[in-house]
Amino acid sequence: MPGSMPLQTREGISSSAAPEPQPRAPRSRALLGRVFLGLCFFGIYLLLTRSDIILQARSGFSVWYPANGLAFAFMLGISPWYAPLAAVADFLSAVLFYHERMLSWTVALGPVGTIVYATAAIILRRRLRIDLDLSHRRDVVRYALVTLVAAVFSTAAGIAGLLADGSITWHQSWLSAFSWYSGDAIALVGIGPFLLIHVFPWVRRQLFDFAPGGVCGLRKRSARRPSAKRSKW
């Protein structure tokens, strides 16, 4: 009849209500990206623990330890779940490169440092919620404060293992602790910020930004932030 709406067929209703199929390529690409990134991290971490890289004169005395800066940057900039991978790589490094006994205090207390740095990364990500690109001075100060405090606990665990194994004496412990702490601190305030500012933003864009929820919910968190410009302090 005139002015009446045209009747829709059952086929038209079902075809218009049917959801469009979602492409699976982004999800598979994200998975491959995570696997590739994990393999790269594992290989580079092992390379950075070699004695000719850290310039180690003897057990407990080294100029710097860049592997910790790399591991902390991954745990903070990508995900704290890189901690188990760092612990396995550290174990293999101790056994293969430095011929440490598998049943030794040095090997047993090795994961303590990794746990300490993973905890520091979680505090910065979830409690203090810093910008991962360190674009504000407040974030830089918080990063430096938390990492340098964490290095104290990591150093204490490492020196305790060396003392328990007899690798160093009590007389050498203070100098060894200073060398251990300064080596970690150089890597944490040097390599870590460089990767967070110049490398990981590109990595997240290339491998993770298209994945649902981004990297561990980072994209969701940024969407909830107010659009007003935050002060530097």
pLDDT number for residue 76: 95
pLDDT number for residue 106: 86
Domain boundaries, the chain: 63-211
Cα torsion through 161, 163, 165, 166, rounded to 10: 160
DSSP string, 123-170: IIIIIS---TT--SHHHHHHHHHHHHHHHHHHHHHHHHHHHHHTSS-H
pTM above 0.85, yes or no: no
The mean pLDDT of 57-72, rounded to a whole number, is 79
pLDDT number for residue 117: 97
pLDDT higher for 39 or 169?
39
C-alpha to C-alpha distances, 65 to 52, 74, 83, 86, 184, nearest whole angstrom: 11, 15, 16, 13, 6
pLDDT number for residue 11: 47
pLDDT higher for 101 or 132?
132
The DSSP 8-state label assigned to residue 102 in this structure reads S
pLDDT at 75 over 60: yes
Where does the pLDDT of residue 224 fall: very low under 50, low under 70, confident under 90, or very high at 90 and above?
very low
Coil vs helix vs strand at 61? strand
pLDDT higher for 59 or 177?
177
Residue 136 · residue 187 · CB < 8 Å: no
pLDDT number for residue 95: 86
C-alpha to C-alpha distances, 164 to 107, 129, 170, 209, nearest whole angstrom: 11, 38, 10, 46
pLDDT number for residue 92: 92
pLDDT at 220 over 80: no
pLDDT at 211 over 50: no
Measure the CA–CA gap between 204 and 214, rounded to whole angstroms.
Answer: 8
pLDDT averaged over every residue in the chain = 80
pLDDT at 218 over 60: no
The mean pLDDT of 77-97, rounded to a whole number, is 91
